[in-house]
A and B are shown apart, each in its own frame.
Chain A
Amino acid sequence: MTNFAQAAEDHLDDVYGYLAWFTGDREVAEDLAAETFERALRLWHRFDPDRGSARTWLCQLARTVALDHFRSEKRRLRREQLVAPLDRIDAQFADSFTPELEAALRRLTAGEREVVALRVLLDLDASTAARVLGISPTNCTTRLNRALHKLEEALHVAA
């Protein structure tokens, strides 16, 4: 088993979970995860373990793939002249969540869900998550707090 195959086996759940929360669509996340690993295979020679873990590197690739997806979605929406963003999140984020929390998560934007996925679901520390997002750790923490506050508010309203 090559290093790449081992890394793919070890981190598939992380990449898939991150993409599922980021896109809010498990089917899309499946396709994007597959595309991420195809791209990772092509670029595996560039991976340097000294600069970061394979999980971080794969998450960075996954984010690039997801951003490409969002761009194409944006173009598609523009073509279809849909001014208002579609409420297309109908997938379940996690089996253990209450319906209120699921609904609150659906109200977050993709950027907010992304930071929650990295910091909470994948349990990355602030600096690693910030590196994946291409922002400063402080900014990453601020975004997380904002997202959590939004969730708290939504749950409070629902209660």
Chain B
Amino acid sequence: MSQRDVLAELRTAHVAAPPQLRQRVRLIAVADDTSPRRLITWRRSVALLVPVAAAVAAAVVLTRPAVHHPQPLSVQHGEAAHANTAPAPKAFALPSTKARAQKYSATLSLRVPGQPQLSDAVKHALRITSSLGGYLSSTHVSTSSAQLVLKVPRTKVQVAITRLSALGTITSEQVAIQDQQSGINANSRTIQRLQRELKTATTKQQIATLTARIEQLQRANANTVRADRYATLRLNFTTPTPAAKHHSHGPLHGIGVAFKWIGIGSLYALAFGVPLVLLVLAARLLRKRRIDSMLSRF
């Protein structure tokens, strides 16, 4: 018998369902009350809520604002602390005590509108310093900034700071006073003690040593008092830096951004999707093989 004959004989077959089965199936069909099925089942709810919850969680994590740490308080006048439209702050100058030896130094940063004003401001600063009996210690001037180190009599430092601060807009100011009277007093006590020892000294060597030491201390005290007569004023002039030119985007910028994000999305989809697809395909293949193996046994 050829394969064609086998096929022809197989085609003659007709398998009819037995009457009792037909009756069972009819009863099943009658039970079809066609009641509307619930659209919201617990499975559908879970299938919907889980991705939504995940998306919300991801959105919360990704859009959470960064934690801002409080800025430490600054004791100086800073540019950031003052808006450009705010009135220029007045310079403050700590009063110095004439009775005590003090090392007085101040740093004043001023902003001037432009280069011509910068030159004028430097000239004015030198004139003010001269008029108060001070002098220029060092200077560094460039096209956009100037740094001056001025020596001003300590008794007139408040006047100097007030007048110099009028040359521009104050951007920062620092004042430091270091008391040196205690060092002078200590030296004086040492000198007195050495002088007492000098009266009782017997040998020439002792006398010479004590005398040299006393003179050394007296010179140190004199130098300190002389240096403290002048306050050091560091004056920094700056001109405003030109604002960065705003770079306008072209008409295709939006498309570029869109492609960039599409690329990023595709990369993530590939990274996560390919292994997932491979896993699913492998599972399906394995399932088919198991079914084939099972069916070959029956």
Contact = CB atoms under 8 A, between A and B. Distances in A.
Given A5-B29, A44-B32, A120-B11, A70 B298 contact: yes
B294 interface: yes
Interface string A1-22: 0101100110011011100110
B32 A2 contact: yes
Given A16-B15, A94-B15, A37 B25 contact: yes
Contact of A97 (B7, B9, B292, B294): B9
Contact of B294 (A2, A71, A152): A71
Contact of A38 (B6, B11, B28): B28
Contacts of B16: 13, 16-17
A12 B19 CA distance: 11
Contacts of B14: 13, 17, 94, 96
Contacts of A15: 17
Interface residues of A, number: 52
Contacts of A101: 6, 9-10
A130 interface: no
A155 B31 CA distance: 46
Interface string B1-39: 111001101111111111011101110111110100100
B18 to A, nearest CB: 7
A34 B25 contact: yes
Interface in B271-298: 288, 291-292, 294-298
A97 to B, nearest CB: 7
Contact of A2 (B6, B12, B34, B37): B34
Given A67-B291, A152-B3, A34 B24 contact: yes
A159 B1 contact: yes
Interface of B: 1-3, 6-7, 9-18, 20-22, 24-26, 28-32, 34, 37, 288, 291-292, 294-298
13 contacts: A9-B25, A17-B13, A33-B21, A34-B25, A67-B291, A94-B15, A97-B12, A109-B298, A114-B295, A121-B15, A134-B288, A148-B6, A148-B7
